[in-house]
Structure 1
Amino acid sequence: MPRSQAPLFVMDGRGLVLRWSASAAGLFGYPAQDAVGRPAMEVLSGASSLGGWRVGPLSPGSDGPDWGVWATGPDEDSGGLDQAVLDAVFTQSSVGLHVLDPDLRVLRVNTVAVGMRGLPEDRILGRPVTEAYERYSPDITESVLREVLATGRPRRGVLVRGRPPTDPHREHVFSTSAYRIQDRSGRPLGVVATAVDVTEREGAQSRLRLLHAAHERIGRSLDVLRTARELVDVTVPAFAGSVLVALTDAVLRGEDPELLPKEGLPLLRCAASAGQYAGGTPKVGSVLLPGLFGDTLPERPALLPPEPDHPDHSTLVAPLTVRGQIFGVVAFQRPSATEPFDHDDLALADGIAAHTATCLENALRFTREHIVMTALQGWPLRPAKATRSALEVAQRHRPGGTGAGSWFDVIPLPGARVALVVGQVEQPGISAVATMSQLRTAVHSLTTLDLDPHELLARLHTTTLRLAQEQGKVPGIEEPTARCTFVVHDPVTGRIDVARAGSSLLGVVRPDGTIDPAPVTAGPLLGAGGPPFACAELTLPPGSTLCLASDDAAPGTSRSTEVLAEALAHPERSPERMADDVERLLPPDAVLLVARTRRLPESELAQWDVPADASAVGRARHDVDRRLKEWRSPVDPFVVELVVSELLTNAVRYGSAPITLRLIRGEHTLTCEVTDSALTAPNLRHAKASDEGGRGLHICASLTESWGVRYSAGDKTVWAEIAERATL
């Protein structure tokens, strides 16, 4: 064959294919992208039946470093040159080569294979492969080799781990492959096994996998101690035999982390540990002695010098810092039986520690925000004494979750009435807590206007829109929406006025055990759909139970109504016990109110129908005086008579029949109410010295704690509260 003819392919001195021709692709069935970079032995091992091969330098007189491979005819003799090339491959290739006969005896090995095994060549040649390497597991087991020999199907890329005699203190990883060799007739001649040391590659991939696992598994909870525990679980035993995580005392108390000190160490406490740490493993929460992590804490991961009592242990220390603030420190330790930490391990520890520190910062921020949220949800204190004559209330707040802005309130209203409020801002986070606090304050302010529940929600919707306009200008804060249920209970009549925005839980249980899980349909969200909001008026017998929560029971299931009914189907139980059962059905961060209704006893009420005649005012004053004496009320009777006289006079002059006077005796106040059918509102004005009238409401406002007007469908009520010590 002329030397000028182009070779089928070109390989380097190590036997790896460098260039692959179209003729080679057609002859061997491998495209160029699959052949380039592979050992030439892999290509030629399965192609003996295609003819002979001649291997030589690309140009006459050249000794490499590149070699060409040409196809030879049946009469062409190239054995001498081929043998020379094979000798070169066996002496210069960086791939370990083993040639085995059909009985799996070692016929030939190259110098790399001898170096990998650490055995002299004369102890390997001619012996069965399992016997030659009985002390050092062979690259591929005997069963695999016999399968390759019998079927001709190669086995590639089998990873084998071991400690070769040349480097017994370090585990190496070899990528091994096996190929059958055969003559032109297809008769098996033996097996060629290759081995490549891929320790560095596998080490890099292992470190990447561990770093990925750290990002996946560390920081799944917003709790500093659980984050420390997750760090331990990820790194033992994949990275170290024992791990000790310590956090600063300030971080464990929920305070701001300190700056990384230039000298010494901050006060550290054990947060999590695993394995047998040299020098003893401390208990969680214990203060760690100075020097356990070195004299000074390094700014980057560093190796500690060996301890005198444990000279063979390798210890790596990494600070848990974010922007110069120290959250803690982690120490990784490997015993003497394993490989010591190296430079690559320092880089991996740096990545794991940085991610953990960020997670600790997030957990600390959440903890502080949760404390703020809980404090805001608990403000102001619930006025239990002011509402116990109308309702028996059980309150629950289920902590946890994402920190949603949930709240509830029990607000006393004039006339012994009580308002129940339950709400939740949809967007979680500290912005939701701030919005919740603003909406809660707005509800308290709106209740002073004596609005119907659906009117109050309409105005609260306007407030939510205003907050959305303000917060919409702040990057990263979404426009707020909220759900809210507002209920007013009148213990005099037993009437319940309710309105809903959103789909929060609302159920009614009557004393006979009948349950209405949805007395009012769900309405649009505050700040979203807007009014009109769903509302209803109910008259409940005393002993009925109202259940309000900021979220649905058993959310996301079709059994929410059924589950709620099962929890509320025992009206004989106290509100506290019912609240315990319902609370378990609610999602995290939900709030709950369970209220048992009461009626005011007749001994606490006095009511008269007053004719629309000025002469009836005097008789009413006489009736009021007599009732005060029967009650032995500490309220000044002269003040009460004056207030009653002024309110009735206004009703007779400017209102319309029927007119009703009602006295409600409270624990420390007396409420006077005058109801008439006219919807005109009384106005407080400052009369001039020469005016003959216009001073009635001014006098009432001066002598009473508070006064106001509320409207219903067909009448209005003017009321005034008089303190028990009110005098002229």
Structure 2
Amino acid sequence: MIPEYPYDDAATARAVVDDGGTLREWNEGARRLLGYAADEVVGRPAAGLLADPAGPVLPANPSYRVDGLLELRHRDGHTVSVWVLAHHRPAGADGPAHWLVVTPLEDTAPLPDDDPLARTALAQSPCATAVYDERLRLRRFNRAMSLIMGIPEERVRGLRPSEVGGRRESEEIERDMFRVLTTGRADDVRTRVSADVAGRTSAWLFRVAPVVDDGGRVRGVCMTMHDFTEEHLARKRLQLVNEASVRIGSTLDVARTAQELADVCVPALADFVSIELLDGPEDGSDPSPVSLTFPVALRRTAHRSSTPGGPEALTGLGTTRSYPAPSPQAACLATGNTVLAGDPTAALTEWLAEDPVRARRIRALGIHSSMSVPLRARGSTLGVAVLSRFLRPEAFTPDDVLLAEEVTARAAVCIDNARRYSRERETALALQRSLLPQRLPRTAAVEAASRYLPAARAGVGGDWFDVIPLSGMRVAMIVGDVVGHGIRASATMGRLRTAVRTLADIDLTPDELLTHLDDLVLRLSVESGQDGTTGEVGATCLYAVYDPVSRRCTMARAGHPPPVLVPPGGGPARPVDVPAGPPLGLGGLPFEAVQLELPEGTVLGLYTDGLVESRERDPEISQRLLCEALPPPPVTGTAFPHDGTAGADRAHGADTPGGSDSLDAACDRVLHALLPTGGAADDVALLLARTRGLPASQVATWDIPADPSLVAAIRKQVVGQLERWRLTETAFTAELVVSELVTNAIRYGERPIRLRLIHDTSILICEVSDTSPTAPHLRRAKTYDEGGRGLLLVAQLTQRWGTRHTPEGKTIWAEMALLEGW
């Protein structure tokens, strides 16, 4: 819109002609020039105004501006020869594309200049300067302005700024000039205009100042134009580099980082960008130009187009494509330098001849300029970024090449970081999976299910869990968390898990086991430090032992979250009050164990802090959500999608309502309830165990008098009990084992002495307890020794045997496998 201010509309003949050649506007100056009123010509072909109606009314190949002499027909029939200036206006807010045709009607004389030096200075000034009068009609401009406009001063003298420039930007400048004219205050206006048909953008600074006479009256305005295109482009390049540093590398994901590089470059630098990366060597080393062989295989990792749908992409994401030596991609990888392709070179023509599909696509899209930039970081070649132009007409310049190399260099470092992180994460995850139990053991004491999820962003950590069968059909359950992430944390976790299994085999109580584990973590921390100083190894742990005969569970924790208990029958879940204890690795602080009576069917939930600690909610709320997600229903749930799961054997108890399958469903429900969709911020280990009780009918106990002569009677009672259990096939072996263990207890132990037999579907356990803390040792007797062969005989007749210390003394136990079917 032309600004609203008083001006003489008749001073300029102005018409608007659409691209179809129809007149759309006709002002008073045009009526004055040719005599036609607006209603006589608007809506009719403009060719009717030509002296020769057969002549072209519009240029055949229009640029944004044309000028020249036209022979027009006056309303009374005579011919009017007039110089016109025509500006082509593309479609915009003011309507469809059209031509603005103007010509000055008044021969406005230039401003008088009595000083020849001032007149000469204005004419020869390198600054483009124009002077407009009170009506914002051009009075004069200098030679520099004439060169910029491409029009002599005398041709446009008398036109307003919007008529001289003819662009929407010219209307904005005219409004600013009118403001200066009315306020008398100078103004600086920055604007951007397209300087040529090729679409190259120029940036100009317009300085507008009032022209004041000796009396202080504003008589006009003076406008000076300064070209700051180079500064503008430099600022844009700096802005793009800054944007790349902010947007690229927001995650440690290779594909995401490559896509961020493509997004930054389109449309700021190119119309289409593709990122293709080399697959790393099988030995895990970094690819280098020396190791490349041609044709080279590149995997399309990301691309971005200015055109919706991206029709330029011949290769789909994740697809590998081979590039021969003549191709720009292979050439830039081989040399390590950017390859700029404009007019087809011999090598480019050879390559496109071998790939006719690509050649046809390039011609169809009009891709006229491209550059292939190698992605290199820390001396390694990662891939290539290909930037192409087809929408914008200008080719890539050397400055564009420098800018692309700067942006891709920053992106290459981020891609290399992501690649190294991914490689370390995969290694740590493989190590973590190998160190975690691949399948939870089947035990008569508990049914168990578990889950392990590595952190979504921080990397694999040191969370672990385990279920360890102990003597007397007892079972140990453990969940732990090593401080830190990565391979070091996984390796430390493996050492601690091995240590726990070793300590569990000697039947330490939970508080004693944590004390030994604390010493181990302290030693590992010292080993990881420098010059004997303490390192950063630390861990938390929860250790529980459940006895299915007594239905008692003893547990202790070292700085670990407390377990959750769900009573049988579906009662409300609640946290178990276990003394927290210090984290492992502090040294010298005691741990306290608690003992609970757990009815058969009780569910224990053991977990690491990654499950309940979140930035979005308090741990208390997470604890409540965990309790609400339990107990498990007696149905099979939907598997939770996770990475690196190690869980119980799903076939075990699958036919039993409320069996291990329902525990699996409960694990999935807990993870769904507490973890965000994108994954946990920290590792998560979860272990659910439902307790079982051993019926009293499967346990037999005798108090043994300290009389060796009664051993035969005890053997007879044992054989009778085995007959009632229908285990006669094992009676002979059991009789020998019982005889040896009872005899040793009578000879070397202290009263009271107790014998206990426990049997399950696959095992018979013999336990002899006394109050002496001294444990027997297996030794090999010499040829003429009369004793020393008893425990050796027990070790050979049983699956395994051992000694565990109790608060009252010790228990010597031996396990015998039952024949299949018993």
TM-score by length of 2: 0.71
- Counterpart in the other structure of 1:415: 472
- Counterpart in the other structure of 2:288: 259
Amino acid at match of 2:423: R
Q: Structure 2 residue aligned with 1:501, among 554, 558, 562? A: 558
- Counterpart in the other structure of 2:149: 117
CA shift for structure 1 position 334: 0.9
Matches within 5 A, 1:382-401: 382=437, 386-399=441-454, 400-401=456-457
Amino acid at match of 2:614: P
- Counterpart in the other structure of 1:222: 252
Q: Structure 2 residue aligned with 1:650, among 744, 747, 760? A: 744
Deviations, residues 235-266 of structure 1 (Å, cap 9, x unaligned): 22222111112223448x99555332566342
- Counterpart in the other structure of 1:302: 339
Matches within 5 A, 1:66-77: none
For residues 499 and 721 of structure 2, the distance between their equivalents in structure 1, rounded to whole angstroms, comes to 38
After the TM superposition, which of the residue ranges 449-458 and 703-712 deviates more from structure 2? Answer: 703-712
CA shift for structure 1 position 320: 2.1
Is residue 555 from structure 1 mapped to residue 649 from structure 2 by the alignment? no
CA shift for structure 1 position 666: 4.6
For residues 153 and 532 of structure 1, the distance between their equivalents in structure 2, rounded to whole angstroms, comes to 83
CA shift for structure 1 position 635: 6.9
Is residue 353 from structure 1 mapped to residue 390 from structure 2 by the alignment? no
For residues 415 and 512 of structure 2, the distance between their equivalents in structure 1, rounded to whole angstroms, comes to 46
- Counterpart in the other structure of 1:580: 668
Is residue 596 from structure 1 mapped to residue 690 from structure 2 by the alignment? yes
Amino acid at match of 1:560: S
Kept after mapping to 2: 8 A contact 1:179/1:191: yes
CA shift for structure 1 position 540: 0.9
For 2:561, what is the secondary structure of its paired residue?
coil
For 2:708, what is the secondary structure of its paired residue?
coil
Amino acid at match of 1:162: V
CA shift for structure 1 position 301: 1.9
For residues 530 and 312 of structure 2, the distance between their equivalents in structure 1, rounded to whole angstroms, comes to 56
Kept after mapping to 1: 8 A contact 2:190/2:205: yes
Matches within 5 A, 1:8-407: 84=117, 87-88=120-121, 91-93=124-126, 95-135=127-167, 137-138=169-170, 140-156=172-188, 158-165=189-196, 168-183=198-213, 186-250=216-280, 256-260=285-289, 264-275=294-305, 280-291=313-324, 293-294=328-329, 296-297=331-332, 298-306=335-343, 310=363, 313-335=368-390, 337-379=392-434, 382=437, 386-399=441-454, 400-403=456-459, 404-407=461-464
For residues 721 and 503 of structure 1, the distance between their equivalents in structure 2, rounded to whole angstroms, comes to 34
CA shift for structure 1 position 332: 0.7
Amino acid at match of 2:505: T
For residues 209 and 576 of structure 2, the distance between their equivalents in structure 1, rounded to whole angstroms, comes to 75
Amino acid at match of 1:562: R
Kept after mapping to 1: 8 A contact 2:431/2:487: no
CA shift in 2, pair 1:152/1:640, >3 Å = farther
For 1:488, what is the secondary structure of its paired residue?
strand
For residues 433 and 383 of structure 1, the distance between their equivalents in structure 2, rounded to whole angstroms, comes to 16
Deviations, residues 311-368 of structure 1 (Å, cap 9, x unaligned): 6521111122334533222211111534221112222222232233333333233333
For residues 514 and 205 of structure 1, the distance between their equivalents in structure 2, rounded to whole angstroms, comes to 65
For residues 699 and 388 of structure 1, the distance between their equivalents in structure 2, rounded to whole angstroms, comes to 27
Deviations, residues 251-288 of structure 1 (Å, cap 9, x unaligned): 8x995553325663421222222226786532222332
For residues 483 and 144 of structure 2, the distance between their equivalents in structure 1, rounded to whole angstroms, comes to 67
Kept after mapping to 1: 8 A contact 2:554/2:594: yes
Identity %: 39
Deviations, residues 609-664 of structure 1 (Å, cap 9, x unaligned): 33344344333322222333444448754433232223223333444444332223
Amino acid at match of 1:525: P
CA shift in 2, pair 1:279/1:530, >3 Å = same
For 1:288, what is the secondary structure of its paired residue?
strand
Deviations, residues 662-692 of structure 1 (Å, cap 9, x unaligned): 2233554432222233434444455666766
Q: Structure 2 residue aligned with 1:531, among 577, 584, 589? A: 589
- Counterpart in the other structure of 1:63: none
- Counterpart in the other structure of 2:356: none
CA shift for structure 1 position 607: 2.8
What's the RMSD between the two structures over aligned residues? 3.4
After the TM superposition, which of the residue ranges 262-271 and 329-338 deviates more from structure 2? Answer: 262-271
Is residue 430 from structure 1 mapped to residue 487 from structure 2 by the alignment? yes
For residues 203 and 480 of structure 1, the distance between their equivalents in structure 2, rounded to whole angstroms, comes to 53
CA shift for structure 1 position 579: 0.5
Kept after mapping to 2: 8 A contact 1:610/1:660: yes
Kept after mapping to 2: 8 A contact 1:140/1:176: no
Kept after mapping to 2: 8 A contact 1:458/1:533: yes
- Counterpart in the other structure of 1:75: none
For residues 98 and 627 of structure 1, the distance between their equivalents in structure 2, rounded to whole angstroms, comes to 121
CA shift in 2, pair 1:542/1:111, >3 Å = farther
Amino acid at match of 1:349: A
CA shift for structure 1 position 398: 1.9
For residues 239 and 474 of structure 1, the distance between their equivalents in structure 2, rounded to whole angstroms, comes to 53
Q: Which runs of 5+ in 2 are unaligned?
A: 1-111, 345-358, 636-661
After the TM superposition, which of the residue ranges 393-402 and 616-625 deviates more from structure 2? Answer: 616-625
- Counterpart in the other structure of 2:600: 542
Kept after mapping to 2: 8 A contact 1:614/1:652: yes
CA shift in 2, pair 1:286/1:675, >3 Å = same
Deviations, residues 512-534 of structure 1 (Å, cap 9, x unaligned): 41322243243322224663235
- Counterpart in the other structure of 2:721: 627
For 1:387, what is the secondary structure of its paired residue?
coil
May I ask how many residue pairs the two structures share in their alignment?
643
Q: Structure 2 residue aligned with 1:564, among 608, 626, 645? A: 626
Q: Which runs of 5+ in 1 are unaligned?
A: 1-78
After the TM superposition, which of the residue ranges 101-110 and 626-635 deviates more from structure 2? Answer: 626-635
Kept after mapping to 2: 8 A contact 1:635/1:670: no
Amino acid at match of 1:104: L
Matches within 5 A, 1:445-460: 445-460=502-517
For 1:267, what is the secondary structure of its paired residue?
strand
CA shift in 2, pair 1:132/1:498, >3 Å = same
Deviations, residues 39-83 of structure 1 (Å, cap 9, x unaligned): xxxxxxxxxxxxxxxxxxxxxxxxxxxxxxxxxxxxxxxx99987
Amino acid at match of 2:121: A
CA shift for structure 1 position 575: 0.9
Q: Structure 1 residue aligned with 2:522, among 465, 476, 480? A: 465
